[in-house]
Copies of this chain bind each other. A is one copy, B any other.
Amino acid sequence: MARWEPDASGRLTRAALELYAEHGYEQTTVADIAERAGVTERTYFRYFADKREVLFDASGALQELVVSAIASAPLTLSPIETIGVAMENAASLLQERREFARQRASVIATNPSLQERELLKLALLGAAAAEALRARGVREAAAALAAETGVMVFKIGFEKWVAEEESGDFPQHIRDALDDLRLLTAVT
């Protein structure tokens, strides 16, 4: 524990990601994480609600980014275009932490209960995005549908981006997915 990372929250996050990656999520106990971070188990639960939440600390910031991107988008954009721009912003943020995002994703991929939490966070992101669209005057049905569509292309774009060997362009994957969707839903 040390000068280079003085706050307990950061040390816990780092310790958890390391241990989950090294020994597996199920094989790691909260006591293990707390010990590596130099605190007690009880303190862990003062920072994070449960054993999984330590991997999802950043989801709040992502959600705020999406909401403010929607709020500040030009009103000339359609709901889908608005949500597309917002999701591209979110993608750019993740892209800045590519290695962290990849390692985190690989841990989550190994455990269904972590996947559940990820899905819940995405659902909350969608709900917040829908709310932000409504605040712009988008009617209820369109807001929910556009927001869920945004989450969907974000998810699919993310999977493509993470799977790449070389560091590709995450926002571009989102644009691609939206274009594919337009083709799929186009009336023939």
Question: How many copies of this protein are present in the complex?
Answer: 2
CB distance from A36 to the nearest CB of B (A): 27
Interface residues of chain A: helix, strand, loop or mixed (majority): helix
Query: What does the 1/0 interface line of A77-95 toward B look like (CB < 8 Å)?
Result: 0111000000000000000
Q: Which residue of B lies closest to A116 (CB)?
A: B116
Judge whether A180 and B120 touch: CB under 8 Å: no
Judge whether B185 and A80 touch: CB under 8 Å: yes
Which residues from chain B contact A180 at a C-beta distance below 8 Å? 141-142, 145
A142 to B144, CA, bound (A): 22
The residue that A184 contacts in the complex, of B142, B155, B187, with Cβ under 8 A, is: B142
Q: Which residue of B lies closest to A155 (CB)?
A: B148
Q: Assess whether A17 is interfacial by the CB under 8 Å rule.
A: no
Which residues from chain B contact A188 at a C-beta distance below 8 Å? 78
Judge whether B182 and A187 touch: CB under 8 Å: yes
The residue that A79 contacts in the complex, of B115, B142, B148, B184, with Cβ under 8 A, is: B184
CB distance from A43 to the nearest CB of B (A): 23
Q: Assess whether A103 is interfacial by the CB under 8 Å rule.
A: no
Q: Which residue of B lies closest to A159 (CB)?
A: B144
